[in-house]
Amino acid sequence: MSHYGVAIISTIVGLGIGILLATCVFFYTRICRKRPHFPLQSNRPPTQTPIDSSSGSFSDASTVSSVIQEIPRPQEHRSWFTRGNRCADNKSKQGIPIFPYKDIEKATVNFTTILGQGSFGPVYKATMPGGEVAAVKVLASDSTQGEREFQTEVDLLSRLHHRNLVNLVGYCVDKGHRMLIYQFMSNGSLESHLYCDDLEDSKILSWEQRIEIILDVCHGIEYLHEGAVPAVMHRDLKPANILLDESMRAKVADFGLSKEQVRPRRHKSGLKGTYGYMDPNYISSNRFTTKSDIYSLGLIIFELICAINPQQGLQNYIDLCSMSEDENENADWEDIVDKKLEGKCDPYELRILGDVALKCLHKTSKKRPSVGEIILTISKIKQRQLAKKGIPQILQRIETQQKQLQTKTMKKIHVNVPVE
């Protein structure tokens, strides 16, 4: 055989061997890719994903909710609402328990005892597995509030804790259901006590109770405005969102429209809130500040005085009192006081509280008092009431707290940058 023939045969054999090797490498690579990869063992618990607060504000609401799930693979971009609960006794990263739908259904006895109805949806009474009584707020399919408000509320209440803010017991995101579970407030809302004609005499709010309630509300708002970091604006303050416990102590509720305050940018978004309780400056400028909450607080104080809401013509009473102040005359607050309080409240204390309400409603936002200043004034009324009852020790303690609060307020005046 010639050298030429040998070369051809060698070339063919070499090509055959090369193709065979390439085929082996190809199939080996495919097999390796299909083989599962097991992570190293770790004593750490499975990582869980909190709710993304940056994307969860309804109409720029920053009240936040977390759904506890296993971390999705990087290529998956599902929202936390679409993942669903996978564990009955799971807890969010913030420590808020997550309940499966079947447990809530059992706790509410198939949703039989309804406590009320709001824009979010119906509220049911429940007895949780541990035996504690709770209120379950269910997001209705036709709710004017949505999943973003749900997310906002859970996120905020998971990090904000104060004796005058309603406590979030847990929540449920399961099988398309959205539910918030709160501590049970046995005496319902402030609204129900102010406007229910069927109340027994023992359940009518006394003047002392009304002072106590507004102080509680102010302490809750003070925590939101000055204690939370960043500050939180409630944006929907009204009697329906103030709940009363078995001791008639008030707690601020419903944070679905709340928003964190980020300086120096002002918050500009679609108007959100309840008609009649919104700051006129917010309506005209579409910018919400902490002083907009103060405006709503002033309306609540007016309602505590005269038991008339904005839909019943409260503005007429406000205008009447404002005219008296503009003419350097003392408004006759006794003419507008709640009929249930006639002859049962101190005229001097009534005038002090009324003056505070008017200041909260000042047309210029910057001239409205801070919540700390409101607390200082109303605390003097409380101090006066206790002095009448002859309680020196409690009086001394309140006086000490008042001085501490005054010192804190003065420091903030010198340090803080104005919100407006």
| Lowest-confidence pick of 1-10, 173-182, 192-201 | 1-10
- The C-alpha atoms of residue 7 and residue 2 are separated, in whole angstroms, by 9
**Neighbouring C-beta atoms of residue 274, cutoff 10 Å:** 17
Exposure string for 333-342, b = 16+ CB within 10 A, e = fewer: beebbbeebe
Tens of pLDDT, residue by residue over 31-41, are 665 544 434 33
Choose between 21 and 321: higher pLDDT: 321
Tens of pLDDT, residue by residue over 214-271, are: 999 999 999 999 999 999 999 999 999 999 999 999 999 999 899 998 765 555 567 8
Give residue 160's pLDDT: 93
Question: Which of 236, 254, 279, 293 does the annotation list as catalytic?
Answer: 236
Domain span(s) for CATH 3.30.200.20 in the chain: 53-183
List CB contacts of 289: < 8 A, sequence separation 6 or more.
233, 261, 266, 267, 282, 365, 419, 420
Residue 218's contacts (CB-CB under 8 Å, 6 or more residues apart) are 297, 371, 374, 375, 378
Longest dimension (CA), the chain: 132
Reported in sequence order, the residue ranges of 118-249 that DSSP labels E, i.e. its strands, are: 122-127, 133-138, 168-174, 177-183, 232-233, 242-244
pTM of the model: 0.71
Q: Supply the pLDDT for residue 66.
A: 33
Domain 190-415 has CATH 1.10.3720.10: no
Superfamily of domain 53-183: Phosphorylase Kinase; domain 1 (3.30.200.20)
Residue 47 to residue 328: CA distance in whole angstroms: 64
List where CATH 1.10.510.10 sits in the chain: 190-415
Positive or negative, the CA dihedral 61, 111, 90, 169 is positive
Question: Tens of pLDDT along 283-341?
Answer: 999 999 999 999 999 999 999 999 999 999 999 999 988 887 665 567 788 889 999 99
Select the more confidently predicted residue: 71 or 199. Answer: 199
Q: Which residue has the tokens 């000042």?
A: 362
Is 236 marked active-site? yes
pLDDT of res. 378? 97
CA 81 to each of CA 95, 101, 156: distance values in angstroms, whole numbers, following the listed order: 18, 14, 17
> What distance lies between CA 242 and its chain's CA centroid?
12
Alpha-carbon distance of 56 to 200, in angstroms, equals 43
154 burial type by CB count under 10 A (0-12 exposed, 13-18 middle, 19+ buried): buried
Which of the pair, 391 or 147, is modelled with greater confidence?
A: 147
How does the average pLDDT of the chain come out, rounded? 79
pLDDT of residue 72: 36
SS3 (DSSP) at 198: coil
DSSP 116: E
79 strand-pairing partners: none
pLDDT above 90 for 91: no
Bigger pLDDT: 420 vs 216 = 216
CB 256 within 8 A of CB 150: yes
